[in-house]
């Protein structure tokens, strides 16, 4: 495929308008943006062509907008070949973005072991902390791609450097373990636990590690935290317990584990939602039935005036809605926005959605 064909295919992938297809007339900013995209789309011919154009314009690679610098794209995509070419074009190896994130942080966020090793061998600062208080372990926990085995291998390697492994970030007071829980890196989480993290730590939202395990449906880690006796009924800042969060998010297995351990079923959060409301939002009919058997109030309203019947209707739980009606639920109930069951059934979820008859 020649350059013209490569460029046509590249611009189709990039979804650019016709005005940007004439590279000679493009601004330096767009050329840099396209250079980053050529790495993401793995278009080496386009990359080389754009690199030549930037050299002809004498664009200083170290004065590029930091956030969009192609070196970060190469690091996040795990492309050592492109990174080496960027260094040849004059990129400063120790470049940081506007939040002081390093290429190593980006490589960890992309889950690329080879790139991480290469960057460290080239002299990248493994102990660097960005402006949000995150080190390379935080960024690894934030990785949303890759596989469990690779992420665990990276974590084990990084931990040999005696990195601060239990350090909270500044934005949310979350540790690498907290981020690993979010993205389901169970073995990475176990490594951090084995290193001796403080299991009683609470983040800025009042989440314990058990809250996080329940919220994200991490069954195995939920079992572990229960064995370690992390308080099962402790509320977060929104007055939500781990059971409430598991129910609200639809994590049946985790909710059942918590119920078997004696989790409180009478929780009411800061918005007036009950545990029964949470179960219906999470479409967990079986547990909702259990809660009612245990005495849950089917008439309770949250701060928006929604009862269990309204929540069941919103979640499309028709059979459960009829069950609630048989139990005496008020079919004439309306929310604070004046939404009734009829509105929900007709697809009008806001009072203003109801069509007004024309007088013409």
Does residue 26 or residue 108 have the better pLDDT? 108
3-class state of residue 360 by DSSP? coil
Pairwise CA distance, residues 82 & 88, whole Å: 10
* For residues 124-151, average pLDDT: 97
Does the pLDDT at position 25 exceed 70? yes
For the four alpha carbons of 58, 77, 87 and 13, in that order, the dihedral sign comes to negative
Cβ atoms of 60 and 94 closer than 8 Å: no
Compute the mean pLDDT over every residue in the chain, rounded to the nearest whole number.
Answer: 92
- 24-42 exposure pattern, b = at least 16 Cβ within 10 A, e = fewer: eebeeeebbbbbbbbbbee
Residue located via tokens 């009924």? 233
Task: Name the pLDDT band for 12 (thresholds 50, 70, 90).
Answer: confident
Contacts of 240 (CB under 8 A, 6+ apart): 211, 248, 267, 269, 270
Q: Are 243 and 274 in contact (CB under 8 A)?
A: no
Please identify which residue in the block is written with the tokens 């665990």: 152
pLDDT over threshold 80, residue 113 = yes
Cβ neighbours, 10 Å, residue 185: 28
pLDDT digits (tens, 9 = 90+) for 263-293: 999 999 999 999 999 999 999 999 999 999 9
Q: Is pLDDT of 177 > 90?
A: yes
Q: How confident is the model at residue 349 (pLDDT cuts 50, 70, 90)?
A: low
Compute the average pLDDT of residues 36-52: 94
* pLDDT on residue 353: 47
**What number of helices (H) and strands (E) belong to the chain?**
20, 0
What backbone torsions phi and psi does residue 334 show, to the nearest 5 degrees?
A: -135, 155
Q: How far is CA 217 from CA 14, 174, 230, 279, in A?
A: 36, 18, 16, 14
Provide the pLDDT confidence category of residue 33 given band limits of 50, 70 and 90: confident
Q: How far apart are CA 107 and CA 144, in angstroms?
A: 12
Confidence of residue 19 (pLDDT cuts 50, 70, 90): low
pLDDT of 224-256, one tens digit each? 999 999 999 999 999 999 999 999 999 999 999
pLDDT in tens, 69-104: 899 999 999 999 999 999 999 999 999 999 999 999
Q: Per-residue pLDDT tens for 156-166?
A: 999 999 999 99
- Asked if pLDDT for residue 18 goes beyond 60, the answer is no
pLDDT of residue 345: 85
């Amino acid at each position: 495929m020649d350059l013209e064909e490569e460029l046509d295919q590249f611009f189709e992938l990039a979804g650019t308008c016709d005005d940007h297809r004439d590279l000679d007339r493009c601004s330096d900013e767009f050329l840099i943006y396209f250079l980053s995209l050529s790495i993401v789309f793995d278009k080496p011919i386009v990359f080389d062509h754009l690199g030549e154009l930037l050299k002809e314009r004498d664009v200083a690679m170290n004065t590029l907008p930091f956030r969009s610098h192609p070196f970060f794209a190469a690091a996040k995509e795990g492309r050592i070949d492109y990174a080496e070419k960027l260094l040849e074009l004059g990129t400063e190896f120790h470049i940081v973005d506007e939040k002081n994130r390093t290429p190593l942080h980006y490589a960890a966020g992309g889950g690329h072991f080879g790139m991480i090793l290469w960057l460290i061998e080239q002299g990248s600062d493994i102990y660097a902390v960005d402006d949000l208080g995150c080190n390379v372990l935080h960024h690894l926990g934030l990785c949303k791609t890759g596989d469990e085995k690779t992420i665990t291998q990276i974590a084990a390697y990084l931990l040999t450097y005696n990195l601060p492994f239990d350090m909270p970030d500044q934005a949310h007071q979350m540790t690498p373990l907290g981020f690993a829980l979010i993205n389901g890196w169970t073995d990475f989480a176990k490594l951090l636990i084995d290193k001796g993290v403080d299991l009683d730590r609470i983040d800025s939202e009042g989440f314990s590690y058990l809250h996080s395990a329940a919220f994200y449906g991490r069954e195995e880690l939920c079992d572990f935290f229960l064995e370690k006796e992390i308080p099962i009924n402790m509320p977060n800042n929104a007055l939500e317990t781990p059971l409430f969060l598991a129910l609200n998010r639809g994590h049946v297995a985790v909710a059942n584990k918590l119920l078997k351990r004696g989790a409180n079923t009478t929780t009411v959060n800061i918005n007036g939602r009950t545990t029964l409301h949470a179960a219906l939002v999470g479409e967990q009919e079986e547990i909702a039935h259990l809660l009612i058997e245990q005495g849950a109030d089917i008439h309770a309203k949250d701060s928006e005036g929604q009862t269990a019947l309204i929540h069941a209707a919103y979640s499309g739980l028709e059979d459960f809605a009829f069950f609630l009606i048989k139990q005496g639920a008020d079919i004439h109930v309306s929310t604070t926005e004046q939404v009734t069951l009829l509105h929900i059934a007709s697809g009008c979820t806001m009072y203003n959605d109801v069509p007004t008859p024309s007088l013409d």
